[in-house]
Structures are given as structure tokens and as C-alpha cells.
Amino acid sequence: MLKQYILKMPGKVYCGENAIENIGQILQGCRKVAVFTDKRIEASGVLDYPMQQIRRAGVDSVILDELPVEPTYMQAQQIIDTFRESGADRIIAVGGGSVMDIAKLASIMEDGLTVKELLDNPLAGKKKVAAIMIPTTAGTGAESTPNSIVAVPEKELKVGIVNPEMVADYVILDGTMIKRLPFSIAAATGVDAMCHAVECFTSNKANPFSDLFALEAARLIFENIERACMDQDALEAKSNMLRAAFYGGVAIAASGTTAVHALSYPLGGKYHIAHGVSNAILLLPVMHFNMDTCIPELSRIYDAIWREGTNNDGARFKEEEKAHAVLRRMEEILQKLKIPTSLTEFGVEPEDLDLLVDAGMQVTRLLLNNKKKVTPEDARKIYQQVLH
């Protein structure tokens, strides 16, 4: 365990029923707010609720809705340039991970600085505009992280820009914002949150701060994810998933994800597989690979979820039995949520293995967090398990 650790969190978090109605209070003194979102969110009507609050506060606004689902750094730059021209002095992000990530980048971009420069020197950015994050998925945890993920086409890879200045000033967690979320998106993003919780808890950088949030995130996810995805009216389960995703993001900021995320980055960069889906596909293969180094941590996750560690004979479960039970539960969740298990349906072929391994092994920032060292041959075997 790390001897020194730090907890970096958003400045203020509003959570619960009608939490969106705090927008007016947050925007006091604001002249003009830039609303980062995307056209799908607008079309769904989800944006209406926060826009009503902005209008009620009497604040001028501009909507920036040209964000693609998996933005490249050039596309991010275009949106940021439009934001600069708008003259807005506050940012609200209403959306999933990509929307919030680009809004966070905009909040630290002074004139003249480019996203490409941040790829080489992430700490060059400094907070310029206060940012409010309103997630419309319960998964990425982007509302609470100092990270922004952008695709780098020339490398066929997604890259994380990490800068503590990007941590949001305000976060609003309101279950009504994810009530209309389609099943497939709810499932993929929910499993992404599960990855965050499990990876951060088993990370080399795990510490008392990250453990606190990762363990509670895991408990909430294992208890709520199926109902939150399958029942549109299960507002309590959805609200619990929103909190879990937020906690997962805090755990990322305090600790860090591991080989699941590292090996998934090339899948988004080259094949444009949604971030949550690629993580979900790799979760079990990586965790089985890590099993012998993570048994104590997985056992603690078991205790947090089931609380009683006994078998049918009343005997205490051994740590290893608990660890395997956690992986079986994750497999059950993936099956119930109809998460794909193979990369071939996304156009990935066995002959692509060399490229995947080379790209995945470049993500050293996250591979170093993995308790078990991942060699190129290990990475190849993991990818091979999901090429069937």
C-alpha cells in the first residue's frame, strides 16, 4: 500500500431527488453559460430539465452539441475553439463520459494552448472557468476524475490526459437524468463503473482513500446494476448507480485503473468500440489472469457484498472461494446485461493481434498499476480469449 496518498474531489456535490434545481444557485453571478452536450441527449429530451433551470436563473446560454461519441483530439479542439468564441464564463456538461471529458478540457484551456500540446504536457493546462458536471449515464465517473480521454488517430489509440485542475467545481447527481437511458447504454456504462471499482480496489496504487470509495461503489453496483438497467422506473436503483459511478471516479482519482482499461484503449482507438463495452469484454479475462495476486482484495469485495462468508455447511468460506464467487457474480451480471463476449463481432480479426498487443503495451501509465506484471505474451493470450 502506498505510504502517501491524496484525495482530490469536486468542490461541491449535489445528490438526490430534484438535485438539478440547484443550478440556479450555482450560476449566481454568471453572465453566460456554455452547455456541453450532444445531439442524442437533446433529441431524448434529457437536456430540457437543466435548460429550464438555466432559463429560470436568468442566465444567457449557448449549447455546444457537436460532440461525437468518441472524440479525437482534433474534434475536441474544434469544440473548445467554439467555446472560446462564445464568451461564456461558466461551463455545464450534460452528458456521458465524452461530453464531460471535453468540457473539463475546455475548463483548463487558456488562449493559445491546444489539446495536442496537452497530450505531450498534460499539466500545462490551468483552471480558467468553473465547470459543473451533470452525468446522464451511471458509469464513466468522469464527473469526479481529473482525466480526459481522447482518440489519437495517428496512433490508433485512446490517450488519457490527466491534470488535477480538471476536477469539477460542482457535480449534480440526479436520478431523473438517467431514467430514459436505453438498456444497451445503461448496461455498458454500468459495467464500466464495475470495472472502475474492481480495478481501483486491486490496483498497485490502492490506498485507504481509494479503497473506501471503490468498495462502496462495488457494493452498490453488485446490488443495483441489473434492476437499474432493466427497469426504467427503478429510480432508487438508478440513483444508487449514479452514486456508485461517482464513487468509482473518486477512486480513479485517488488510485487508478489497471490492465482492463490499458488493454481496452486500442479497441476504442482503432475499432471505435464503445469504452464501456471494450472494458466489459476484457474484464473477466484480465481478472482471471490477475486472480493469484488479487485474492485478498476480491475476498474483501465479497465480504462487502454478501457480508456473511459461509458456505452451505456453515463453514467459513476461504479467501480463494470468496474471490472466485466475485468473478462468478461478475460473469452473471455480464450475461444478464447481454454484454458482448467476443471482439469478432466488432470486426477484430486474429491477424490484428500484433497491432493490439503493441498498442496495449504502450499504455504503461495503467499497466504499472496492475498487481501482476503483464508481458506482451500475456496481453496476447488475454486478447486471444476474446477473439472467438
CB 9 within 8 Å of CB 167: yes
C-alpha cell at 54: 438555466
Above 90 in pLDDT, residue 70? no
CA pair distance 275, 194, nearest whole angstrom: 13
Please determine, for residue 354, whether its predicted confidence score (pLDDT) is greater than 60.
yes
Q: List, for residues 79-134, the tens digit of each pLDDT value.
A: 999 999 999 999 999 999 999 999 999 999 988 899 999 999 999 999 999 999 99
pLDDT > 90: percent of the chain: 86
Residues 187-198, mean pLDDT to the nearest whole number: 96
| Nearest residue to 364 via CA among 349, 377, 381, 376 | 376
CB atoms within 10 A of CB 387: 14
Using the predicted structure, report yes or no on whether residue 55 has a pLDDT greater than 60.
Answer: yes
Mean pLDDT of the chain: 93
pLDDT band (50, 70, 90) for residue 2? low
pLDDT at 313: 47
Evaluate if pTM is beyond 0.85.
yes
> Residue 368: is its pLDDT beyond 50?
yes
Q: What is the mean pLDDT of residues 219-227?
A: 97
Instruction: Decide the pairing of beta strands 32-36 and 12-15.
Output: unpaired
Phi first, then psi: what are they for 186, rounded to 5°?
-60, -40
Are the beta carbons of 57 and 73 closer than 8 angstroms? no
Task: Give the pLDDT confidence of 162-172 residue by residue, as tens digits.
Answer: 999 999 999 99
- Give residue 306's pLDDT: 87
Angstrom distances, CA of residue 86 to CA of 61, 62, 176: 9, 7, 29
Question: pLDDT digits over 246-296, tens only?
Answer: 999 999 999 999 999 999 989 987 888 888 899 999 999 999 999 999 999
- In order, the DSSP letters of 259-328 are HHHHHHHHHHHHH---HHHHHHHHHHHHHHHHHHHHHHHHHHHHHHHHS--B-TTSPBPPHHHHHHHHHH
Higher pLDDT, 69 or 135: 135
pLDDT of residue 307: 73
Q: Give me the mean pLDDT over the 368-382 stretch.
A: 97
The answer for 347, left when phi > 0, alpha when psi is -120 to 50, beta otherwise, is: left
> What pLDDT, on a 0 to 100 scale, did the predictor assign at position 232?
87
